[in-house]
Amino acid sequence: MSKFSKPRLGTNKPEKTDGIHPSVLKQARRSGVLNLSQRGLTIVPEEVWSVQEYVPEEAKSVSMDNTEDKWWDVVDLTKLILASNHLTTLGEGLRNFQALTVLDVHDNQLTSLPQAISQLEQLQKLDISRNQLRELPSQIGYLVNLTSLHVEHNHLTELCPNVLRLQKLEFFDASNNQLTSLHKQISYLCQLRQLNVSHNKLTQLPSEIGDLTALRLFDATHNQLLSLPENLGNLRNLEQLHIRHNQLEYLPTFHSCANLKEILAGNNNIRGLTDELLENLKSLTCLDMRDNKLAKLPDKIVALEKLERIDLTNNDISVLPFQLGAMTSLKAVILDGNPMRSIRRDIIMRGTAELKKYLLSRLKDEENESESLTDAGSNSALPTGNQDPLSHHDLHQMKSLDYSNKKQATLPDEVMKAAAEAGVRAVNLSKNLFSDLPNSLDAIAHTMVELNLGVNKLTQLNPRIGNFSKLQMLDLRSNQLSDLPSELSSLISLRELIISSNRFNKLPSVVFELKKLEILFANDNRIAQLDHTGFLKLDKLGTLDLQNNDLSQIPPEIGNCTWLKSFALTGNPLRNPRPAVLAKGTPALLEYLRSRIVE
């Protein structure tokens, strides 16, 4: 029997509806899936809203012992598909389907959504695309389990802030609307993997978009963007960037986008590609720069070691770097519409293989110099303690030192010397045997922004940590720490602190001095109480994870921390608030806590 509905034995509903065969409703009661797409519906028949409630007429004479037709064995409706009809409204009967996980009403004529949609807390996929919506109701913000949201091809001019609080959302398509801006609360969508805002009227993007660190695909094609925020470089999981048909004059440096594989930036006003930009795109396989204003292709293009395709159609390029011919992975170079002077037209017309062969032949005069530079630079290796080579090339390309999982207790001086020369920004020393902060790290104190010391043997953190004032991320997980030094307060740029799986009985007071802190993971410790006055100081904190600690109650004053986007508390022996409150999500939890404050 459905936990959300019970059959009423005396109900006598008609067996037929216009365009809906009784067998369709009967099957829906058994399978939990009702598909009424492409049926020419102008309204949702009442029989749909009561599909889980009424008793078929013929069933009244059926014995309860009849095992062939158990009409009372009704399952909750989990999928409702009303796509490609002529619906102008949905009824409030939608509240009858609180077990729905999929609701698809795309390709209709809806101008609004019913308030009852807020009751669908189990909903995971919502498709309301290709309708006539001019705004999204705030009630969508209650769909705390939503992972996929399609609102494309409507008439939206803005996105409701409540919609931007759907913390489990992974796929969001808002393309083909009338959006002129994105709210900075877009950063709340911390699980978002794909974001499509193409074919809108965006002139700029908020810098907070750089907080979407789970993002893998971002499509802002066909807008009016004049520039991209430098924070876009924080998207370390980004794989595809589509920004064709805008008004961009340059690209950001993508300083941490090590996984970026595809940039489609055609039909803009981009005049050049910087060496720093190319050095950061180690994984790039496809670069589309057609219909821009490029006058040259930098020699540094060879830094794109995995590049397979580059489209330079309709630019102002007259010469190509000879090094292009030595790029072994390159399979397609498209040059139509460029005023090439140094290469004969017939060579270009023969295709990429012949073009590369020609360029490589012209490179021979520079081979000796190139080989000497290679021997002195990218091919030299440093010992790392476990016979794995650590190349200068990797340090300079990624500005990152990965010295993890070496089972070492010291950091070789030659490694840090190379890191200092490369201006390394990120250091990973996790899964080693360090019992103290290596002294040699001081050599890059002025450049380091990320430090990972997780899974080591630290029993205390050296006060020298205060010297790394530019740190933005510090990972100390899985050590043996029970306190943090007061010098940590010198990390005025710290945005992310991870102290999970240590021995903390309480959060160190110095944590509350980190004014720019946005992410705090303190799960799997022994924390038994919280200082609400400290949290009220952290007005930038968006993610707080205190799972699996010893908390028995939460101070109600923490409900005033309305800036919290994600507040995780499961796994604690809580007496208050109850699990049912926690299950409703962070906004509901904060509201509950505020209601408990004694005036």
Q: For the chain, what's the residue count?
A: 599
9-15 contact pairs (CB < 8 A, 24+) = 9/55, 11/50, 11/53, 11/54, 11/55, 12/54, 12/55, 12/57, 13/47, 13/50, 13/54, 14/47, 15/56, 15/57
Q: What is the tens place of the pLDDT at every residue in 583-599?
A: 788 888 999 999 988 75
The DSSP call for residue 553 is B
pLDDT at residue number 392: 56
DSSP at 94: G
For 545, the token pair is 């994870």
Q: What is the Cα–Cα distance from 180 to 466, expressed in whole angstroms?
A: 42
pTM: 0.59
Distance CA 158, CA 200 (A): 10
Tokens representing residue 458 in the block: 């630290």
State the pairing for strand pair 79-81/148-150: unpaired
As given in the structure block, the two tokens for residue 55 are 């008793």
How far, in Å, are 211, 323, 469 from residue 495 at the CA level? 11, 40, 12
Distance, in Å, from the CA atom of 546 to the CA atom of 505, rounded to the nearest integer, reads: 12
pLDDT in tens, 61-109: 555 455 445 555 678 899 999 999 999 999 889 999 999 999 999 999 9
What amino acid occupies position 62?
Answer: V
What pLDDT is attached to residue 583? 79
pLDDT by residue for the chain (599 residues), tens digit each?
Answer: 444 443 433 334 434 445 578 888 888 888 999 999 999 999 999 889 888 775 555 554 555 455 445 555 678 899 999 999 999 999 889 999 999 999 999 999 999 999 999 999 999 999 999 999 999 998 999 999 999 999 999 999 999 888 888 999 999 999 999 999 999 989 889 999 999 999 999 999 999 999 999 999 999 999 999 999 999 999 999 999 999 999 999 999 999 999 999 999 999 999 999 999 999 999 999 999 999 999 889 989 999 999 999 999 999 998 899 889 889 999 999 998 888 877 877 788 888 988 998 888 877 645 544 443 344 444 444 444 444 445 454 566 667 888 888 888 888 888 888 888 888 888 989 999 999 999 989 888 888 999 999 999 999 999 999 999 899 999 999 999 999 999 999 999 999 999 999 999 999 999 999 999 998 999 999 999 998 899 999 999 988 999 999 998 899 999 999 999 888 888 888 888 888 788 788 888 999 999 988 75
Contact indicator for 223, 242 with CB cutoff of 8 Å = no
pLDDT score, position 585? 85
Query: What are the CA-CA distances from residue 77 to residues 15, 81, 449 (Å)?
Result: 19, 11, 50
DSSP for residue 9: T
Cα–Cα distance list, 513 to 3, 249, 367 (Å): 48, 40, 56
Q: Which residues, 6 or more positions from 277, have their beta carbon under 8 angstroms from its beta carbon?
A: 251, 252, 253, 254
* Cα 319 from Cα 12, distance rounded (Å): 82
Nearest to 210, CA basis, from 244, 175, 176, 241: 241
**Cβ distance 243 to 264 under 8 Å?**
yes
DSSP state of 517: -
Running DSSP on this structure, what letter comes out for residue 145?
A: T
Where do runs of H (alpha helix) occur along 20-147? Answer: 22-31, 46-49
* Alpha carbon distance 578, 593 (integer Å): 11
Query: Can you tell me the distance from the alpha carbon of 314 to that of 299, in angstroms, rounded to the nearest whole number?
Result: 20
- Burial of residue 228 (CB within 10 Å: 0-12, 13-18, 19+) is buried
What pLDDT was estimated at residue 403?
87
pLDDT value at position 8? 38
Residue 196 pairs in a beta bridge with: 173, 219
How many helices (H) and strands (E) the chain has is answered by 11, 23
Q: What is the pLDDT of residue 574?
A: 87
pLDDT of amino acid 22 = 83
Name residues whose C-beta falls within 8 Å of residue 246's C-beta, 6 or more positions apart in sequence: 220, 221, 222, 223, 224, 225, 226, 267, 268
Q: Are 88 and 110 in contact (CB under 8 A)?
A: yes
Q: Which segments of 451-559 does DSSP mark as H helices, in order?
A: 532-535
In 3D space, the residue among 579, 585, 538, 530 whose CA is nearest the CA of residue 556 turns out to be 530
249: phi then psi, degrees, rounded to nearest 5: -105, -15
